[in-house]
A and B are shown apart, each in its own frame.
Chain A
Amino acid sequence: MRALRRPVGVAGLGLLALVLFVAAFGPVLWGERATVVDTGDLLAGPSAEHWIGTDNLGRDLFARVMVAARLSILLALAATAISLVLGIALGAAPMLVGRRLGRLITSAVNVLVAFPGLLLVLFFAVVFGVGARGAALAVGLAGAPAFARLCHTLVAAVSERDYVAAARIAGVSRVRVLLRHVLPNIAEPLIVNATMAAGGVLLTFAGLSFLGLGVQAPSYDWGKLMQDGLNGIYVHPLAALGPGIAVVLAGLAFNLTGEAFAAAPGRTRPLEAAREPAARTAPVAGTSLSVDGLRVTIPGPAGPIHAVRGVTFTVGDGEAVGVVGESGSGKSVTALAVAGLLEPPIRVDANHLVVAGEDLMAAGAHRRLGTSLAVVFQDPMTSFNPAHRVGPQLAEVSRFHQGMSRKAAFARAVDRLRAVRIGEPGRRARQYPFEFSGGMRQRAMIGMGLMGDPRLIIADEPTTALDVTVQRQVLELLAEVRRDTGAALLLISHDVTVVTDVCDRVLVMYAGRVVEELPAKDLRTLARHPYTRALVAAVPDMETDLNRPLAVIPGLPVDPTQVPSGCAFAPRCPFADDHCRAVAPALVAGVACHKSAEVGR
């Protein structure tokens, strides 16, 4: 009962219990009082004896509201039941009948769902006539299309699952598959929705009775009481508002209960207050990027995740530095952190973090980075805004940072698109991103970075989402841009080949730390860290013997919530001893390994 752990769940269930109690025992407890006619006390206001006054026959209104609970709730439940049963039948039918008939039913349901419930209710009210039974049928039938749609969606999702396919192949009849395998699996969302729908039905019913189309005298539900009360709202407002409050409370009881069960509580614990500021250090001169002791902490449901645990490196002016590592090694988080794109509640600490001359650890906006830093993201399919055309998205940089007119900025955008080898740039600039291919978008993204005058380009897995031939083009373009502009490059990749081709220097990351730093040309031959060696060995090349299994790194990457106190790679390392498991090695002379002398041999 996780719903009970949330305030909404407690309020909803408590209210629902109260409402159901009144519905069950109201007529027993207040039934007599509700019928006592007191001609000496007609249309009286609230008093100690009559809490919300009396009606035009002098009957106690509070008692009548309590008694009306049973009929109101029963009618609402009956109508919901009709909706639910009909909805399941209509929603599951496409699975049972043939494809063509099924499609017909689905499109009929889609047409009916488009009409608002109340209109359908009025339609059916005409057919079934005025009265409680007619109204229950009308509300029930009117609610069916919405349930049919929901049920159809749920059935379609479950039918895709393996166990349903398996049951079908095993020759189980369609009806049996539906009853045994499909319906039990969609029961929970259906019940949750039915609970919320019951709240809505209750209100609709009150509306119908209020209009005089529902419950007829001498019976009465809350809507009927409101209708009677509205005529006297001048002299006696509580007569209309009292039953109204009852309707709203009962409706809320159903809604909140449903909502509490529907929402899964995914609570993350906020991070504890920041540690005392680490010692400030000065940036290294002659660098486009200088970072010392970078730590990134992400709050998670099982405690904080230390994604980056003290990373120090520089990228010299015009230099190309690659960062490699497995997924989860913290390389992308590092890229986003040095690009200044991580936001609270993620916490970024560093002794210093200076990018293109801007101190990111100092407060304030870093507007100048808009032109001096270019960022290329991993997935070009999602990194452009689908609601705007490509040209204006590029032009925005110049309009916002360089004060260009709309026309001049657009002309520059077209020019930059041409510079990144996009054919017909004038026409392309007027298109939407979805009209571009993946490779074209990535080139346009690089073009966006070239709108300013970048000192540094941060590229976070820029080729991962592209196919191999396009990867080459994008990498060549990056190299060419670097030649033309003299910009430095920080290239994040899990692909050792890409990094050795493009970069001067390589950082190898594991479990949020840099474990080795070496010139790119030495990566394949002179690596001293066992992880680097394993990573390089896992890349097949032309000499790889295809008759033998491909090399893999044994074991699993470290769980970022539980990083061991010693060397994080020790559990997967063939060289590791007790010292490795107890003491984390520091990065000394380009490698963080107690056994580097042994490995290098």
Chain B
Amino acid sequence: MRNPTGGRWPRFALRRAGRLLGSLWVLVTASFLMIHLVPGDPVRAALGPTAPADLVLAHKQELGLLDPLWRQYADFLSRLLSGDLGVSISSRLPVGETIAHRLPATAQLAVAAFLLSVAVAVPIGVVMAVLTRRGRGRRAELAFTGTSVVVGAIPDFLLGVGLVYLLAVQTHVFPVAGLDGPDSYVLPVLALAIGPAAVLSRIVRVEMLAVMEADYVRTARAKRLTPLRVHVVHALPNAVTASLTIGGLLLSSLVAGTVLVENVFAWPGLGSSIVASIVAKDYPLVQGTVLVYGVGVLLINTLVDVVLALLDPRSAIGES
């Protein structure tokens, strides 16, 4: 891309990278402190009250909990840089291995659900905006907002339960649970995508309604283009930039939403393992999983900002 104002993109890259690094530091430090914030003796809690004292001590030594705090922090950071996330207390397997094994299933689920919800929400939002602008189609508007509020209020895991009941238990169309072939993706992806699609389509509609009143849309109409071209070429890109900001938040909450949905569908991803490890107080595994989720969310936010800057070059300059 040509750069007439000079240094716009480098400055944007620098500022955005700075924010990413700052957030990463907060994330890493928080996950390091997590085990220290647990009241009482975390290792004793993990191994249970019947565990022999020397076993507890050995575990503490292994986790480095006997060193001074600054030393532990330094060790944690240096191990992290070499990709070592520690060893699970319960399974004795390296945490990195467990996560690498389970991450792909979660990522597939989240990405598929995000794409589906965007693919559904944008056309619906645009069509509803065109149908209901300037107080036209009051009934359509009421039906749309009513449905999207209700659907958006149903949490994803409940949708999952409902879908399992309707499409797996009642009609046997799709498998109830597990990851086994393309069929098994349908229900979890639907459960994850429907809620965000409802929310996103409302946002797209509101943004479109605002954009359609803008002066430059009037300019486009003054060029006597077809309504389709005015809406799709001139209004939509401007509505999408605003919607995308919220779409990014949606995607990162979708990543977190996998935790619940995976538990409904016994999905072999990170979500089911983080819950099991929280219950089992397997701190190294929890720590690693939280880190991976957090990094995922931060990367998504950064990606959204970059895409936004490409779509709307103004967003790359301003902003405090």
Contacts and interface: CB of A to CB of B under 8 A. Distances in A.
Interface of A: 107-108, 111-112, 114-119, 122-123, 125-127, 129-130, 199, 203-204, 206-207, 210-213, 226, 230, 233-234, 237, 240-241, 244, 247-248, 251-252, 255-256, 259, 268, 270, 299, 339, 341, 343-345, 365-370, 373, 375, 377, 379, 382-388, 396-397, 400-401, 427, 430-432, 434-435, 445, 448
B135 interface: yes
A244 to B, nearest CB: 5
B253 A129 contact: no
Given A126-B278, A211-B275, A341 B222 contact: yes
Nearest to A123: B290
A122 B221 CA distance: 51
Interface stretch (B22-30, B76-84, B94-102, B180-188): B22-30
A107 B249 CA distance: 18
Q: Secondary structure of the A side of the interface?
A: helix
B225 A383 contact: no
Given A126-B278, A382-B215, A237 B165 contact: yes
Contact of B283 (A126, A375, A385): A126
Closest 8 CB pairs of A and B: A370-B224, A118-B256, A116-B256, A382-B215, A387-B237, A116-B253, A385-B216, A375-B222
Contacts of B4: 427, 431, 435
Contacts of A233: 161, 164-165, 169
A270 B153 contact: no
Nearest to A243: B158
A212 B275 contact: yes
Contact of A400 (B30, B225, B238, B255): B225
B162 A366 contact: no
19 contacts: A111-B22, A114-B252, A114-B297, A116-B257, A117-B256, A118-B259, A122-B278, A127-B34, A129-B38, A206-B158, A212-B275, A213-B275, A252-B149, A255-B149, A365-B226, A383-B216, A384-B216, A385-B216, A387-B312
A445 B223 CA distance: 11
Interface in B198-240: 214-226, 229, 234, 237-238
A430 B2 contact: yes
A237 B38 CA distance: 38
Interface in B287-307: 290, 293-294, 297-298, 301
B191 interface: no
Nearest to A206: B155
B279 A244 contact: no
Given A118-B260, A233-B165, 14 more contacts: A112-B26, A114-B298, A115-B297, A118-B256, A119-B293, A126-B38, A127-B37, A130-B279, A211-B260, A365-B224, A373-B222, A377-B219, A388-B237, A396-B225
Contact of B219 (A130, A255, A365, A383): A383
Contact of B238 (A226, A230, A385): A385
Contact of B223 (A123, A212, A343, A400): A400
Contacts of A341: 218, 221-222
A386 B149 contact: no
Q: Secondary structure of the B side of the interface?
A: helix
B150 interface: yes
B5 interface: yes
Interface in B83-132: none
A372 to B, nearest CB: 10
B15 interface: no
A178 B60 CA distance: 48
Contacts of B255: 116
Contacts of A445: 219
B17 interface: no
Contact of B253 (A117, A126, A210, A385): A117
B314 interface: yes
B290 A122 contact: yes
Contact of A123 (B30, B153, B225, B249): B30
A383 B161 CA distance: 50
B264 A230 contact: yes
A367 B22 CA distance: 54
Contacts of A365: 224, 226
A553 B75 CA distance: 80
A116 B279 CA distance: 21
Given A116-B297, A119-B294, A377-B219, A126 B155 contact: no
Interface in B151-168: 153-155, 157-158, 161-162, 164-165
A122 B31 CA distance: 11
B200 to A, nearest CB: 15
Contacts of A369: 224
Contacts of B257: 116, 118
Contacts of B223: 370, 396-397, 400-401, 448
B313 interface: yes
B161 A126 contact: no
A127 B38 contact: yes
B194 interface: no
B190 interface: no
